[in-house]
Amino acid sequence: EQREEESMSLPCLRGDIVETQQHYRSRWRSIRILYLTMFLSSVGFSIVIMSIWPYLQKIDATADASFLGWIIAAYSVGQMVASPLFGMWSNYRPRGEPLAVSITISVAANCLYAYVHLPTSHNKYYMLVARALVGFGAGNVAVVRSYIAGATSLAERTSAMANTSACQAIGFILGPVFQTCFTLIGEKGVTWEIIALQVNMYTAPVLFGALLGVINIILIFAIFREHQVDDIGRWCKKINTEAEENDDVVQATQGNIDHIAVVETNILFFVILFIFAVFETIATPLTMDMYSWTRKEAVFYNGIILGAIGIESVIVFMAVKILSKKTGERALLYGGLLIVLVGFFILLPWVNKLPSIQWEDLKNNSIPRTTFKPTGCPAVQSWCLDTPVIHLAQYITSDILIGLGYPVCNVMSYTLYSKILGPKPQGVYMGWLTASGSGARIFGPVFVTQIYTHLGPRWSFSLICGIVVLSLLLLEVVYKRLIAFSIRYGRLPE
């Protein structure tokens, strides 16, 4: 079988170039390999997320909870830095190169994570570097999405982007499941003394992740090929001569990208990931404060809830492929933001009942102690004394609504962004979009923990509602600009 080696950064030629069945099959095989890459990237983040804290305590007694925050944030920092770089690389070179290099970095970083117990000091910093490098390798998300955008027509784009996001969501769901299975090995596990490798419940997940990465690299070299089609779905073949480049370049690539729409879409995407990062971060402390759950109960119950939301998200990802054909991406994005707004509005405290107070941390003995619960809302958080409780029914309803609205916003923002960019190389632009999402995952937890600790849920969720309202207003202002490149220049009907 003769394999095509078309360059993604080159424009299409004039005329309807019929795509052969061989080319069609090769194109979709390559896209499916990148679905797998997206899945493995999210698994790399979530497969150790539950065990980072106990592993950190085991390898370095000097590490505290604040340093844990830095380690978790390191992944997003690495991804934010790497995404534009890998995106730029993919614009000028075959995409197989940045994909293979990024996955190799992730494999090496996972191996480093498995060996962070070996140094005699500063082990926590080695773990920090390992997680940052795993995030750096995950910067290939920009390459994946830019390739899929260029290898699909407008009619195929929404479905392909939804499948990509679904694979990412499934990876986030299955990562903790893999981690749970590896707990059967135990903390001690087995030691391979020749290479000083300890295989236990903390290192086995990353070693498994490294193995999956190696398999992914092999599949990229064996199956992945460069393909491109235009917005209509015509196959784009490589330009071989300067004469062809001057005379036959299709007009579909002519025209400037609407940079206002690009910037506004980046802002909307930042907000979408920001509010979901806030939601994930606040779940455990909120439920411990409102419902007097212990740490174990909060982790267990919220784990179940987040798993259910993940399943809900996968269903939504599949549903939007059908709905978008009837309503359009812009309307779905608007509707998704409205659903998220209602979800956070429901979380606002409004009943008269106060949460149970945890008095153990109270140092001011002048306030009468009416209860001595080891759990509950800590009295050192002054808002606990006058803020009404958020009922469990409110919390569950909010979870369902946010789990419905977020995936809609996620897929629609990616789809609209890729269509706005059109047939031009999208690597750098997708890199900036991924970087904005990574930045949101960094700043979201910092924002909400500070506001929640000092001012409580009423202020926290009111501010989030305000941010979503501003996003809806912004979307209303730029609504007419969020159209496909080909539609903007009148080459396709709207």
Return the percentage of the chain with pLDDT > 70, whole number: 82
Instruction: Tell how strand 357-358 and strand 377-378 pair up.
Output: parallel
Predicted confidence (pLDDT) at residue 272 exceeds the cutoff of 80: yes
378's enclosing H/E stretch is strand 377-378
Asked if pLDDT for residue 88 goes beyond 80, the answer is yes
Our CA angle for 259, 274, 288, nearest 5°, is 175
Does residue 482 sit in helix, strand or coil? coil
Q: Mind listing the pLDDT tens digit for each residue in 314-365?
A: 888 888 878 888 888 889 999 999 999 999 999 888 777 776 776 554 444 4
Q: Which domains does the chain have, with CATH numbers?
A: 1-254 (1.20.1250.20), 255-353+388-494 (1.20.1250.20)
Are 378 and 302 spatial neighbours (Cβ–Cβ below 8 Å)? Answer: no
Token pair listed for 453: 């600790």
Q: What is the pLDDT of residues 385-442, one digit of tens each?
A: 888 888 889 999 999 999 899 888 888 888 888 888 877 666 778 788 878 888 887 8
Rounded CA gap, 359 and 373, in Å?
7
pLDDT in tens, 195-218: 878 888 888 888 988 998 899 899
pLDDT digits (tens, 9 = 90+) for 108-122: 999 999 898 888 788
Look at residue 447 in the predicted model and tell me its pLDDT.
Answer: 81
Give the integer Cα–Cα distance in Å for 329 and 490: 19
CA distance 170 to 318: 12
CA distance 225 to 106: 22
Three-state SS at 171:
helix
CA dihedral of residues 486, 489, 491, 494 (deg, nearest 10): 70
Q: What is the mean pLDDT of residues 237-264?
A: 57
Residue that wins the pLDDT comparison between 233 and 147: 147
Buried/exposed code over 186-222 (b: 16+ C-beta within 10 A; e: otherwise): eeeeeeeeeeebbebbbbbbbbbbbebbeebbeebee
